[in-house]
Amino acid sequence: MTSQIHETAAERAFAELDAYQALEAKQQPVWPDPEAVAYSARELSSQPPLVFAGEADQLRDRLASAARGEAFLLQGGDCAETFAAATADRIRDRVKTLLQMAVVLTYGASMPVIKVGRMAGQFAKPRSSNEETREGVTLPAYRGDLVNGYDFTPESRAADPARLVQGYHVSASTLNLIRAFTQGGFADLRQVHAWNQGFVSNPANQRYESLAGEIDRALRFMAACGVDNTALTQTEFYVSHEALLLDYERPLTRVDSRTGDLYDTSGHMLWIGERTRDIDGAHVEFLSHVRNPIGVKLGPTATVDDALRLIDKLDPEREPGRLTFITRMGAGKIRDVLPGLLAGVRDAGATPLWVTDPMHGNGMTTATGYKTRRFDDVMDELRGFFEAHREVGTYPGGIHIELTGDDVTECLGGSENIDEATLATRYESVCDPRLNHMQSLELAFQVAEELKKIS
């Protein structure tokens, strides 16, 4: 009898969720064989959740404190993860980079830093064009490893629904390693020096070393005073991705047995991209029905009205930590556009978490065809973000960055002074250019300076 009632409630919840199927879903692949998509969906539905509802709730609580100005969000990782790069070393180096950045920020701001990877599911990409042409040959654009392959051949570029299931398994093994690293002693703050090992020595590294030395001394001081440091042996680390591919997100959406609510168990936090945030579109409808913390990217054309309608749809209860706006305006526009948006939302009585993505508004393509960004533009947008919040009196609650722990040459500038000619030496991104390890640390030091001005 009880299970009968429960089943009905679950069915009702899924029926409400499935309202998205009648709406336009932008940026979806054209799958050649609908039967094969249905097969993958059944396969995904039968797999265990990747994350648990309680973890998503905990992240929502943490984000609520960031929205109140009591914590800071560090969200980062690849533009597009790939199955091939989901190796122990590459995952470890990205986690180490985020841990190092978090230490720099925590120490600078004297406040908790919430660590969220663009990891374990960041496999689907929206594209400006459905096709790519190279030397007269036109093929479908690469849409992320969850859809097709990066190699420029007809076979590789065909959308293959078996990739949905493969993506789940790669996410599971990535998340397993992240959990091992962050809970099994590797993220112990007493390892603060060890996280720097293995990276090429450079000025940002050296600056980090001296900060790590200060932290070490502080920890030894605390231990000598008899303070129990065991809380420092583990760290909370969450995973997030753009919830773009609804054929992946829907089968991983489950009923929380504690509450009967729906959670998208593919990641702790999911975000909606700039290209799919239409208020009447499928993505907004879908995510309005799951309880995870949700992000929405807002580009330079976003109006106060857009933001308020998104709040009403995605966060009608105005629950702290539920909604994060990730602004990506471009260095040249942020100072003009962001203050009005912040003020309009504040005046409507809403308090979302405001985060800056200083990457996506600053893209450019070199004459030789490399997608890149100038480190100086990224830093300029970051400063503009802090300025806008200072002007309006709202809280700049976090950063969202495309980065890698590898020593790649994808973004111009930084103190290594990567120039256009150097881009070719180690350009590995399959989508957007990422900050390398050193540029990521440099950025963290500069954000810490901005945060010091607030605290």
Ligand X SMILES: O=C[C@H](O)[C@H](O)COP(=O)(O)O
Ligand Y SMILES: C=C(OP(=O)(O)O)C(=O)O
Positions that interact with ligand Y (CB under 6 A):
79, 126, 242, 273-275, 297, 328, 357, 360, 432
220 annotated as belonging to a binding site for a ligand: no
Please say which residue, 3 or 128, places its beta carbon nearer to ligand X. Answer: 128
Q: Are 40 and 161 in contact (CB under 8 A)?
A: yes
For residue 233, which amino acid is it? T
190 assigned to a ligand binding site: no
434 is in an annotated binding site: no
Nearer to Mn ion, 380 or 432 (CB): 432
Q: By CB under 5 A, is residue 451 in contact with Mn ion? A: no
Binding mask of the shown chain, residues 173 to 212, with x at each position contacting Mn ion by CB under 5 A: ----------------------------------------
292 and 17 Cβ atoms separated by less than 8 Å: no
Asked if 78 interacts with Mn ion (CB under 5 A), we say no
Work out the angle at residue 417's Cα, subtended by the Cα atoms of residues 423 and 214, and round it to the nearest 5 degrees. Answer: 120
Identify what 380 binds: Mn ion, ligand Y, ligand X, none; CB under 5 to 8 Å per kind.
Answer: none
**Nearest 5°: phi and psi at 232?**
-85, -5
Q: Pick the closer one to ligand X by CB: 17 or 85.
A: 85
Binding residues (CB under 6 A) for ligand X: these are 79, 125-128, 431-432
What are the φ and ψ backbone dihedral angles of 364, each rounded to 5 degrees? -155, 160
Number of residues forming the site for Mn ion (CB under 5 A) = 2
CB 293 within 8 A of CB 324: yes
61 is in an annotated binding site: no
Nearest residue relative to ligand X (C-beta)? 128
Residue 78 touches which of Mn ion, ligand X, ligand Y, none (Cβ within 5-8 Å per kind): none
* Closest CB 292 distance from ligand Y, rounded Å: 17
Q: How far, CA to CA in Å, does 377 sit from each of 190, 360, 372, 414?
A: 35, 11, 11, 11
User: Would you count residue 432 as binding Mn ion (CB under 5 A)?
Assistant: yes
**Residue whose C-alpha is closest to residue 105's, from 75, 78, 79:** 75
Scan for tokens 């600053």, then name that residue: 362
From the list 50, 51, 66, 79, which residue makes contact with Mn ion (rule: CB under 5 A)?
79
Nearer of residues 117 and 273 to ligand Y, judged by Cβ: 273
**Has 280 been labeled as part of a binding site?**
no
Is 453 annotated among the ligand-binding residues? no
Listing DSSP states for 16-32 in one string gives HHGGGGGS--TT----S
24 annotated as ligand-binding: no
d(CA 439, CA 94): 13
**CB neighbour class for 63 (10 Å; exposed up to 12, middle 13-18, buried from 19):** buried
List all residues 6 or more positions away from 155 whose beta carbon is below 8 Å from its beta carbon: 149
Residue 127 binds: one of ligand X, ligand Y, Mn ion, none (C-beta under 5 to 8 A by kind): ligand X
Residue 437 annotated as binding?
no
Output the smallest distance, CB 386 to ligand X, in A: 24
- Selection from 122, 164, 157, 117 nearest residue 138 by Cα: 157
53 or 378: CB nearest ligand Y: 378
* Residue 283, H or E segment: helix 282-288
Indicate left, alpha or beta for 209 from its phi (over 0: left) and psi (-120 to 50: alpha): alpha
Q: Does 410 bind Mn ion (CB under 5 A)?
A: no
Gap between the Cα atoms of 341 and 326, Å rounded:
12
Measured between alpha carbons, how far is 181 from 28 in angstroms, rounded to an integer? 34
Using the minimum distance from each CB to ligand Y, give the nearer residue, 101 or 189.
101
Give the nearest distance from C-beta 433 to ligand Y in angstroms: 11
Q: Is residue 81 near Mn ion by the rule CB under 5 A?
A: no
- Is 432 annotated in some ligand binding site? yes
Residues comprising the binding site? Answer: 79, 118, 274-275, 297, 328, 360, 402, 432
Residues comprising the binding site for phosphoenolpyruvate? Answer: 118, 274-275, 297, 328
Residues lying near Mn ion in the complex (CB under 5 A): 79, 432
